[in-house]
Structure 1
């Protein structure tokens, strides 16, 4: 039987999942209206789309640490309050820089919400309700994926784009009320990943604890210092600099030139920050990521394949929304409805993925799904001026169905971890997926902008120039996803049986 309060927890989890996923999908269709009203150039528009996944991805692991240190309930309430307040301020923004800044704050809130809500799912639900919780979580994500473009199109066309952010406010308030009522207080109760016990074992812990209880300055300083070590602020800053520098170089490169000093320094700074981040993980007392997990072929290959899928698909959705409205003259509502085949095929084909995995193995199934997505991207690249929804349908169906067939890829990647590292593995996979969305927007956008600029210099009109850039971006995306299929087919193949062999992968 379900325990008292489980239904309230399920409501809170559903609202949290729906809100954070919706904000990744609802904006794309509204971008042309945002660009027109705020007079943004292409790079400014990309920053509107990229600011949310940038801060979301960069702080996901820190959000997971916060759930351990502060507790699930306060972390979840803080994240929901940040996300809800920033959503309201996004809707009121009247300048591009202000909108981008508050989109970044939305990402910070989401980075607290997702790890804390997953911790609630695993630790605060009764055994019978946990399966319902997982189903509720996935259903909420699927609903946000399906409804996001439709909501974005309808609202931006009839009410104005500001309302696509304002609709988060009632969801956020309902989620906060459900969390305050249903989620128990207290910490996760687990030692954060990578924590090192005090010298002397329990004695050291008692010594620190006693200092804190004394309430003296020394105890307070030690408490602050210990919290800083648990959160690894240096690692957090370095990861943000690495992601932000790379995104800046890719988004601003077409404007400044990829060999200009500002772009080169952005890439150099990003590379240095990434190198220092990796070095930090080897030396920190409580590293954000235990790099030893990457020694596992299944985990490393699964993460790489997920990243390549995200690089290819996420940027395409943004520029497809622009193409539908700029190139084909769709209204925002019609453009939003054009994306529904992706979501519907994703939902309908997901049960087939389990059947294919049992028959073919996870490596062949995932590789086949990724190849189907790549094929769908190439089909979209053949769509030109004067196309209709029917012309888009084969490519969109292939992208949705192929993405559904890749679902076992994530499950296999998570299953490769031991019980003791499942939290950090989940965090790394989630962060990698969000980073790939950010870099996909920036990378595909760089290709679109470069080819568009070359076409304009040859004398092409703006519409034809954008179409040429869009097609080049689709081809790049298809190549990236195709490489992901190769990686999945190799990395997820079953290990050879024999003495000492580990469990098969799929």
Structure 2
């Protein structure tokens, strides 16, 4: 058994990995206008720069969780850090938009091995439920801080060294994380890991990939074009196909029985809605500040500091509330704040005052900070501890899926020429969903099936 000091070092090492993964999503957003000019990218190209990363992670998270449970969490974690660092280096060298998108996909293969495996390492290291809640709260705070600080660091790097530097900065951090993992993180495996499920994995890919591609390319090709209709059809068929296939397997990639629990299902949908709102915000806000307001990348990044500060502070507070009182209060409050923040931003224009913007960022950031810990704990509680890798992967898959859809939807609205308030209203609706499901899925009747699934 690890000592308290050793557990702290393991937690810090896992937090370092989530910093690089979180940074890479938000740091890329602030560089999009610069990349657009340098590589002559259309709006759909900007969407793919973000979604090539988010989508590949979403498709592979479940697989990486089960691989980690079988072959060793530390081993898979180190491999993920290596691939992520290599992909980052290649992104910085990319001469064309296509090469950049491909390198982002390679980054994502490594990134898929980081967050869910880090979460499973934390879950197996901290056995006491209260200690685990605090550890997850710390992990969530660091994730929120890393992601929210991305625009600031990105602005500094883009202004001082150009857009390629935002990818190269990941390389030394990744190397340090590899060394720390090798030295401090103990190896662990599931006592009885699940068998591989190639058909289930294929159906996950054929659902998320075509759905995202259809939403991104719809404005360019036309929503009624044969290609777009075919993509939507493939995605639609994949969902019932996945349910049928997984229910027949003794050890499925996606254990659909977990979704019989209202608490687990609620957490999964909240994860999709909340991250749709957050990643959609990052995409829209970057284009607004740099292309509508004409701000530099540095100034645009600095303006997001209030969101970063509010997110980090509220993530820590959320962990304490969950440990003491459960998930309902932080979930409901998070939904209210996300709705209010997006609603405030729907009223912005070319001449909106700085005080108004900062206030909106504070409100939205507080909602983002509050939501992570309660939905993560609910997801982990829905599966046996021995399958912590799969539980963590499901939670992270829902997050990444929401992020991919957020960029796809918001980018499509921008590309189609819709007024900006329409996209912000969509994000506000995600906050409303969080409130409603936070109330419905956290009652006593909803928590009982979660225990039963164990």
Q: TM-score, normalised by structure 1?
A: 0.81
Partner of 2:432: 482
In the alignment, what sits opposite 1:260?
225
For 2:53 and 2:214, how far apart are their aligned partners in 1?
17
What secondary structure, in the 3-state scheme, does the structure 1 residue paired with 2:417 have? Answer: helix
- How big is each residue's C-alpha offset from its partner over 1:333-367, in whole Å with a ceiling of 9 and x where there is no partner? 11011111112112233455468779997435422
User: Quick one: structure 1 residues 20 and 365, their matched pair in 2 at CA, closer, same or farther if it must change by over 3 Å?
Assistant: closer
SS of residue matched to 1:112: coil
Q: Quick check: 2:94–2:100 contact (8 Å CA) kept in 1?
A: yes
Q: How has the CA–CA distance of structure 1 residues 485 and 14 changed in structure 2, closer, same or farther, with 3 Å as cutoff?
A: closer
* Contact 1:302 1:492 (8 Å CA) reproduced: no
What's 2:403 paired with?
437
1:309 equivalent in alignment to 2:309: no
| Structure 1 residues 123 and 302: CA distance shift in structure 2, 3 A | closer
1:427 corresponds, among 372, 382, 393, to 393
CA pair 247-7 structure 1, distance change in 2 beyond 3 A: same
1:146 maps to 148
* Contact persistence 1:11–1:175 (CA under 8 A): no
Assess if the C-alpha contact under 8 Å between 2:148 and 2:311 holds in 1: no
Larger Rg: 1
Task: Report how far residue 108 of structure 1 moved.
Answer: 0.9
Cα contact 2:141–2:312 (8 A) shared by 1:
no
Whole-angstrom CA distance in 1 between matches of 2:9 and 2:263: 37
Aligned residues: 448
* TM-superposed deviation, 1:262: 0.9
- Structure 2 counterpart of 1:219: none
The 8 Å contact of residues 117 and 392 in structure 2, kept in 1 or not, is answered as no
- Tell me how far 1:447 sits from its aligned partner: 2.1
Match for residue 414 of structure 2 among 448, 455, 465 = 448
8 A Cα contact 1:157 1:332, kept in partner:
yes
Q: Does structure 1 residue 240 correspond to structure 2 residue 205?
A: yes
The match for 1:17 is 18
Q: Which residue of 2 aligns with 1:114?
A: 115
Alignment of 1:312-391 (within 5 A): 312-350=277-315, 352-353=317-318, 362-363=327-328, 365-391=330-356
What residue ranges of structure 2 are gaps of 5+ in the alignment?
none
**CA distance in 2: counterparts of 1:372 and 1:488, whole angstroms:** 13
Indicate the SS of the match to 2:112. Answer: helix
Deviation at residue 45 of structure 1 after TM alignment: 0.5
CA spacing shift, 1:9–1:55, aligned 2, 3 Å: same
Shift of 1:412: 3.8
Q: CA 1:366–1:119 in 2, change beyond 3 Å: closer, same or farther?
A: closer
Is the 8 Å Cα contact of residues 298 and 491 (structure 1) preserved in structure 2?
A: yes
Which residue of 238, 249, 258 corresponds with 1:284?
Answer: 249
Which structure carries more relative contact order (alpha carbon 8 Å, separation 6+)? Answer: 2
Segments of structure 1 that go 5 or more residues without pairing to the other structure are 196-229, 453-467
Residue number in structure 1 paired with 2:376 = 410
Change (3 A) 1:404 1:184: closer
**Corresponding position of 2:60:** 59
Kindly indicate whether the alpha-carbon contact (under 8 Å) linking 1:495 and 1:502 is maintained by their aligned counterparts in 2. Answer: no
Where do residues 390-409 of structure 1 align in structure 2 (5 Å cutoff)? 390-406=355-371, 407-409=373-375
Task: Give how far 1:394 is off.
Answer: 2.1
Q: Which of 157, 171, 176 is the matching residue for 1:155?
A: 157
